[in-house]
Amino acid sequence: MLLKELTQLNGVAGCESAVREFIMEKIALYADDITVDTMGNLIAFKKGSGKSGKKIALCAHMDEVGFIVSGITDDGYIKFKPVGGIDERILLSKRVTIGKDKISGVIGIKAVHLSTPEEREAVVKQKDMYIDIGAKDKESAEEVVALGDYIAFDSDYLEFGNGKIKAKAIDDRAGCAILIECMKKDYTNDMYFCFTVQEETGLKGAAIVAHRLQLDAAFIVESTTAADVPGLEEHEYATSLGSGPAITVMDGASNSSKALNNYIFDLANENNIKYQLKRTVFGGNDARAFATRGGACATAAISLPCRYIHSPVCIADMADFELTMSLVQAIAENSWKLGGII
């Protein structure tokens, strides 16, 4: 299963090659042209069967949040820095893997017994944390780990609850999986499928893809926060699991094109696809880069709701995933109509 395989790959921003190679292999049969640019973005082109009006792309990012090795202590522990936005409160006692050889380690913390009441109540700062790989000293650690090695969460893919999944990096391997599936079909309009890098470090990859392609419309297939959990009021949920793909009106980085959103709503209604609107304006995604960096471009974001995003234990609903897939599929199939819309 694609989503399982994709979430088990490590692709921390700046080190997406494992994900890219996997995707290239999966789409090789279905692409008319494949480009890998200087940063490692993967751009697949699929020629349409009819006359193409507009230059249209589906986009998902390949990278995930993680860490990078920044030091090795004399007693053999690994110091690290975050890559992407990670809530430091979730890190302690989690397992990680380091580098290409996937050396296993744990993020340690001294026992609660040894901690003062003040220490127990304060969040440990990420810069004070360390990873224990068992090494007895620096020399032993340096045999397997080097400065600059990337570090990913170690978390398996699990189906649980009533049709839920748990994994790391659902943000945005879910989008990658959907794009790969969409590439298997043929479309009337020419289609670009953009698998971008370094979204988590500031929409970097998408910036140069936008510049290269100068698109008319970009549909960002993302994963977004679902906060439908205890302690929050319903108006604070942003999105809810089980309510279908979330469509963004505006977030902290971009405004979705009203025309594209109406196009999406119509398709959803015609195809009986349940969807929800994202009910908050925080956050942002590659849409901002696509909207501005190659000249003005209409964008829209279709997102899979995901609890505990940017953690090793993202939770998503498989029904939402299927619905998101269907909606994106419909967007691609009907994209020839966009000429008259934008």
The least distance separating other proteins from the CB of residue 225, rounded to whole angstroms, comes to 6
Q: Which position among 59, 62, 135, 208 is part of the footprint of other proteins (CB under 8 A)?
A: 135
Count how many Cα atoms sit within 13 Å of the Cα of residue 3 in the half-sphere of its side chain. 24
- Six token digits for residue 88: 């430091």
Let me know if 199 is a catalytic residue.
Answer: yes
Nearest Cα neighbor of 210 from 284, 296, 285, 293 is 293
Site string for other proteins, 91-110 (x = CB under 8 A): -xxxx-------xxxxxxxx
Angle between helices 318-333 and 170-183 (to 10 degrees): 40
The one catalytic residue among 64, 199, 200, 222: 199
Per-residue DSSP letters for 248-259?
-SB-SS-B--HH
Q: Which position among 25, 38, 111, 340 is part of the footprint of other proteins (CB under 8 A)?
A: 111
Q: How many CB atoms lie within 10 A of CB 275?
A: 19
Q: Which is nearer to other proteins, 46 or 166 (CB)?
A: 166
Q: Is 313 in the site for other proteins (CB under 8 A)?
A: yes
Q: Which position among 231, 272, 296, 340 is part of the footprint of other proteins (CB under 8 A)?
A: 231
Q: Which is nearer to other proteins, 79 or 212 (CB)?
A: 79
Q: Is 235 in the site for other proteins (CB under 8 A)?
A: no
Q: Which position among 5, 21, 33, 75 is part of the footprint of other proteins (CB under 8 A)?
A: 75
Q: Which position among 25, 29, 114, 272 is part of the footprint of other proteins (CB under 8 A)?
A: 114
Distance between CA atoms of residues 248 and 257, nearest Å: 10
Q: Is 232 in the site for other proteins (CB under 8 A)?
A: yes
Q: Is 71 in the site for other proteins (CB under 8 A)?
A: no
The least distance separating other proteins from the CB of residue 78, rounded to whole angstroms, comes to 10
Q: Which position among 161, 184, 250, 295 is part of the footprint of other proteins (CB under 8 A)?
A: 161
Q: Which is nearer to other proteins, 17 or 115 (CB)?
A: 115
| 8 in Cβ contact with 22 (< 8 Å) | no
Angle between helices 318-333 and 258-270 (to 10 degrees): 110
Distance between CA atoms of residues 241 and 175, nearest Å: 16
The least distance separating other proteins from the CB of residue 172, rounded to whole angstroms, comes to 18
Distance between CA atoms of residues 62 and 25, nearest Å: 14
Site string for other proteins, 271-290 (x = CB under 8 A): -----------xx-------
The least distance separating other proteins from the CB of residue 113, rounded to whole angstroms, comes to 6
Residue in this structure with the two tokens 């649980």, named with its chain if needed? 160
Q: Please, what is the Cα angle at 313 between 68 and 256, to 5 degrees?
A: 85
The least distance separating other proteins from the CB of residue 151, rounded to whole angstroms, comes to 15
Site string for other proteins, 290-309 (x = CB under 8 A): -----------------xx-
Per-residue DSSP letters for 217-249?
EEEEEEEEE---STTS-GGG-SS-TTS--EE-S
Q: What's the DSSP call for residue 295?
A: B
Angle between helices 170-183 and 17-27 (to 10 degrees): 20
| 275 in Cβ contact with 246 (< 8 Å) | yes
Q: Is 146 in the site for other proteins (CB under 8 A)?
A: no
Catalytic machinery residues: 199
Q: By CB under 8 A, name the binding residues for other proteins.
A: 73, 75, 77, 87, 89-90, 92-95, 103-115, 120-124, 128, 130, 132-136, 140-141, 144, 155, 158, 160-164, 166, 225, 227-232, 236, 282-283, 307-308, 311-313, 315
